[in-house]
């Protein structure tokens, strides 16, 4: 049983960490929602999109962008998430839960909530936020969450670069406006902070409760 003087700071630190993560998640999600509200009334190409296309012009004749974008294909995302979950099984159930929940929650919010509510279309299909960018980024986050702590920094950098590459690919391939792709990264960031923060806090609370013999 941990001393009472140790348990209290640990609990306070966990609550502060959770609050900080949730506030950051709320800011990211708020930005995505605010963009969606604007685009629901002004769905055409925006000034930000025009600037984005100046940086990443459409390159429909380059199939490499289409192949890169397929990293966010639903089948790839499901297989990748399963592999990450199996890897996380070697550590804790909390990590497995986070690995599965991040892509699941992100995809549901993207495909079932935001896309139909915003109603922005490109090529006849809903496009805000980008489903492929959401799927790829959330799957890659799963591998970072599943990894041993000593590997997470390096994997986090690699996952971030790959997510940005898919974001560029869906724009260059003509599948999305730049704001659709950026919104997907914001959505995944918000979901990751929320899910990881809540699962961490829940696990820490269980440890604290165990240390106090079931009392809190």
121 sits in which H/E element = strand 121-122
The domain total for the chain is: 1
Nearest-angstrom CA–CA distance, 118 and 130 = 12
Nearest of 8, 25, 170, 173 to residue 162 by alpha carbon: 170
**Backbone φ/ψ region at 174: left (φ over 0), alpha (ψ -120 to 50), beta:** left
Would residue 216 count as lying in a domain?
no
**Domain ranges, residue 197:** 4-211
pLDDT at res. 46: 93
Helix axes 47-55, 178-211, angle to 10 degrees: 90
* Residue 122, strand partner residues: 125
pLDDT, one tens digit per residue, over 22-78 is 999 999 999 999 999 999 999 999 999 999 999 998 887 889 999 999 999 999 999
Contacts of 148-155 spanning 24+ positions with Cβ under 8 A: 148/91
**Backbone φ/ψ region at 123: left (φ over 0), alpha (ψ -120 to 50), beta:** left
Tell me, what DSSP letter sits at residue 72?
G
pLDDT at res. 189: 97
Would residue 134 count as lying in a domain?
yes
Would residue 13 count as lying in a domain?
yes
Question: What string of pLDDT tens digits covers the 216 residues of the chain?
Answer: 445 444 545 555 667 778 889 999 999 999 999 999 999 999 999 999 999 999 998 887 889 999 999 999 999 999 999 999 999 998 778 889 999 999 999 999 999 999 999 999 998 999 999 999 999 999 999 999 999 989 999 999 999 999 999 999 999 999 999 999 999 999 999 999 999 999 888 877 765 555 544 433
């Amino acid at each position: 049983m941990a001393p009472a003087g140790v348990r209290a700071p640990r609990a306070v630190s966990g609550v502060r960490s959770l609050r900080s993560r949730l506030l950051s998640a709320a800011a990211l999600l708020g930005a995505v929602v605010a963009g969606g509200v604007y685009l629901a009334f002004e769905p055409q190409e925006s000034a930000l999109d025009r600037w984005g296309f100046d940086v990443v012009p459409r390159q429909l004749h380059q199939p490499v962008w289409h192949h890169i974008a397929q990293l966010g294909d639903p089948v790839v995302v499901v297989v990748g998430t399963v592999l990450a979950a199996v890897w996380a099984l070697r550590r804790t159930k909390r990590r497995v839960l986070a690995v599965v929940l991040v892509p699941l929650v992100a995809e549901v919010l993207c495909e079932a909530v935001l896309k139909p509510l915003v109603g922005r279309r490109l090529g006849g299909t809903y496009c805000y936020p980008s489903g492929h960018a959401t799927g790829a980024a959330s799957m890659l986050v799963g591998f970072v969450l599943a990894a041993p702590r000593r590997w997470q920094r390096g994997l986090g950098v690699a996952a971030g670069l790959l997510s940005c590459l898919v974001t560029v690919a869906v724009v260059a391939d003509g599948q999305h406006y730049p704001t659709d792709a950026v919104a997907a990264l914001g959505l995944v960031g918000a979901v990751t902070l929320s899910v990881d923060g809540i699962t961490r806090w829940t696990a820490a609370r269980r440890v604290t409760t165990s240390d106090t013999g079931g009392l809190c």
